[in-house]
Homo-oligomer: A and B are copies of this chain.
């Protein structure tokens, strides 16, 4: 139906950098290197509404039309991250108030308050005008709302930080929220244990913004969540407007950080958009995000809207030249894992401003960067694989919990020092990487996801099981036959981040019959554990110990304190038709792989064989028996894979028989089963 078909391959483009002559040249060159889409306009509010109420779209139509002439579709961005100077001059209250009490100033981006009525009013208007203007343009194939919206400021440290805007509008909205949630101050006092430190409130008006104090962690958790939800509401306001006019997918490009609940965010969105910037040293972490994006919209392939061709950078570059092939697999990985688009940021290096050191396809003067041929090769591979990719979907039977609520709880209450024990930075190596090593694909899910499609569920570090009725829904799923690995640090808090007063765990003792004994920090890693057969296990900085019994799979072999020795760290319990593995420790890679293999056997999930820390193996299935596997080498060292089907690699044309095959560094094989 559309003029344009996936996979989408393209880049961000800033017509505001260039004149019309350069625009034509750029469009030609995009086509020449195999592209079919460009993202534009995300920061161009001052071009569209140079003065209040004076709208100018002719230039933007010219851009869309010129791109289309060369076969390039447009993803249109709303420019709300960067209001024009006249708006801030008229309403200085649009700027967010920093923790210091100072308002942010004009310049930069994402510096406004999502709750501010003036800001929202003018955002709504520019979005509506754009929607009206381009609703019927067949060359616009998607809409992106705002850009990289995020409420946090120091997520990269995993630190417990107060986030967002402290302006009076936000404070007022926060107090209204508390009132709606708790009804009375007494209820809040009780939920947050505010009797301690005489923090009790008698009126919601007394509750300050969380600053200038040793902030109560429950207060902080609520505030951070409030700020995040304000951002989601801001996106939804735009989505509602766009949906009145446009008929193509609407999304917003998110980042590889938590802090907005992506499930909630996407309730009113049609497509998941994602930006990321990885290096060779951390490319293994990227599949994690695609495994998280894929289940957000089960039937709609996501769009990778930003990645670098060669390096990212603002006014300075903190990356090094990357090995040949990195760009290729980095660009193809989203398609292998369930996406249908890969766009670069950006087509042509900015010639001025904040980000002129960022890598691109062309340099500022229009010459190809060194990565140009690799980009073209990527485009060709995408075309070759297009039919197979479009006709198949990723298949997985495993799910791993990674809820936003938990991210926020670790921010407010980190358990161990956050720089050494960030939620993501702990969960990923301890629980996701062993799955990678086993060449298994999982869905990474929120607390509310349906579990019916999965045979094996992994729930580590999930401080509370109270959100979205998790505990009960998991219980039913286990009783019906599910295999559940739970812990450590799961089920130990209520929804507000408080401990249970009458039991150490919310439901696990009652559900499985295990008996909690002790929890201990082990920063210095002095506690040594072992499997029942005596195989040693190295454990991480936190242990939860259970009363041992005959169904204990692993336990403490030695410890600085005798009370700990012999206690169990892993227990197996039958619940209904299913099984629960109660895990109390952060175990080493080998031990976790062993546990996963045991549980996969329980769950009847076929095991894979190969160098899973070098490449991904992705099962793809389509209609009418169409199936195959994509292998994608991401470590630059190559490896071997035990192929279980006869297949042909669509990219190389090479035929494969079942058996051990080689995967070259940075190679992608699209193996269509015969």
A residues in contact (CB < 8 Å) with B: 14, 16-18, 22, 43-47, 50-51, 79, 82-86, 89, 98, 100-109, 111, 160, 191-202, 206, 208-219, 310-311, 313, 315-324, 349-354, 356-357, 363-367, 369-374, 412-418, 421, 496-504, 516-524, 526-527, 541, 545, 559-564
A370 contact from B100, B421, B518, Cβ within 8 A: B518
> Which one of B22, B321, B504, B527 contacts A363 once the chains associate, using CB atoms below 8 Å?
B504
**Which of A212, A213, A313 has the most C-beta atoms of chain B within 10 angstroms of its own C-beta?**
A212
A320 CA / B111 CA spacing, docked (Å) = 41
Is A324 a contact of B526 with CB atoms below 8 Å? Answer: no
A84 → B minimal CB distance (Å): 5
Complex Cα–Cα for A521 and B319 (A): 7
A105-B211, A195-B47, A198-B45 known; A318 and B364 CB under 8 Å? no
Whether A318 contacts B17 in the complex (CB less than 8 A), given A202-B86, A354-B214, comes out as no
Q: Which B residues touch A22, using CB under 8 A?
A: 501
B321 touches A521 (CB 8 A): yes
Give the number of times this chain occurs in the complex, counting copies: 3
Are B320 and A193 in touch, CB under 8 angstroms? no
Give the one of A317, A496, A502 with max B CB within 10 A. Answer: A317
A199 near B100 with CB under 8 A, answer no
Contact residues in B for A519 (Cβ distance below 8 Å) = 363
Asked if B318 contacts A523 (CB within 8 A), the reply is: yes
Asked if residues A213 and B107 are in contact (CB atoms below 8 Å), the reply is yes
Do residues A357 and B214 form an inter-chain contact, with CB atoms below 8 A? no
- In the assembly, what is the distance between CA of A217 and CA of B357, in Å? 12
Q: Which of B107, B191, B195, B521 contacts A311 (CB 8 A)?
A: B521
Beta-carbon nearest neighbor of A636 in chain B: B560
CA distance A164 to B178 in the complex (A): 33
Would you mind naming 16 contact pairs between A and B with Cβ atoms under 8 Å apart? A16-B195, A46-B199, A86-B206, A105-B208, A105-B211, A105-B213, A108-B214, A196-B352, A316-B415, A317-B521, A320-B541, A322-B560, A323-B561, A364-B501, A365-B499, A365-B504
In the bound complex, do residue A107 and residue B365 qualify as a contact, i.e. CB atoms below 8 Å apart? no
Whether B526 and A563, one on each chain, are in contact in the complex, defined by CB atoms closer than 8 angstroms, is no
Pick from B324, B369, B523: contact of A518, CB below 8 A. B369
Given contacts A43-B198, A321-B521, contact A316 B561 (CB under 8 A): no
Residues of B contacting A356 in the complex (Cβ-Cβ under 8 angstroms): 413, 498-499
C-alpha gap A296/B206 in the complex (Å): 43
How far, in angstroms, from A385 to B85 measured CA to CA in the complex?
65
- Interface pair B560/A200, CB less than 8 Å apart: no
Partner of A498, one of B193, B201, B351: B351
B421 touches A316 (CB 8 A): yes
Asked if A85 meets B199 with Cβ closer than 8 Å, knowing A107-B213, A214-B354, A414-B316, the reply is yes
User: Is the Cβ of A523 less than 8 Å from the Cβ of B319?
Assistant: yes
Question: Is the CB–CB distance between B322 and A214 below 8 Å?
Answer: no
| In the complex, residue of chain B having the shortest beta-carbon distance to the beta carbon of A215 | B107
| Contact of B195 with A106 in the complex, beta carbons under 8 Å | no
Please state if A563 and B316 are interface contacts (CB–CB under 8 Å).
no
Other CB < 8 Å A-B pairs besides A108-B197, A214-B354, A310-B520, 9 of them?
A: A16-B195, A50-B202, A104-B212, A311-B521, A313-B521, A351-B500, A357-B413, A364-B500, A370-B517
Chain B residues closer than 8 Å to A562, beta-carbon distance = 324
- Contact A321 to B214, CB < 8 A, known contacts A364-B499, A504-B365: no
Closest to A498 in B: B352
* Cα of A46 to Cα of B196 in the assembled complex, Å: 9
A317 to B520, CA, bound (A): 10
Contact A499 B413 (CB under 8 A): no
Q: Is B17 a contact of A324 with CB atoms below 8 Å?
A: no
Which residues of chain B are within 8 angstroms of A520 by Cβ–Cβ distance? 310, 321, 370
Task: Give Cα A564 to B105, complex, Å.
Answer: 42
- Which residues from chain B contact A89 at a C-beta distance below 8 Å? 206
**CA separation between A418 and B317, bound complex, in Å?**
10
Q: Give the top 10 A-B pairs by smallest Cβ distance, nearest first.
A: A193-B352, A108-B214, A46-B198, A16-B195, A352-B498, A320-B523, A82-B198, A107-B213, A370-B563, A105-B212
A51 cross-chain contacts in B, Cβ below 8 A:
202
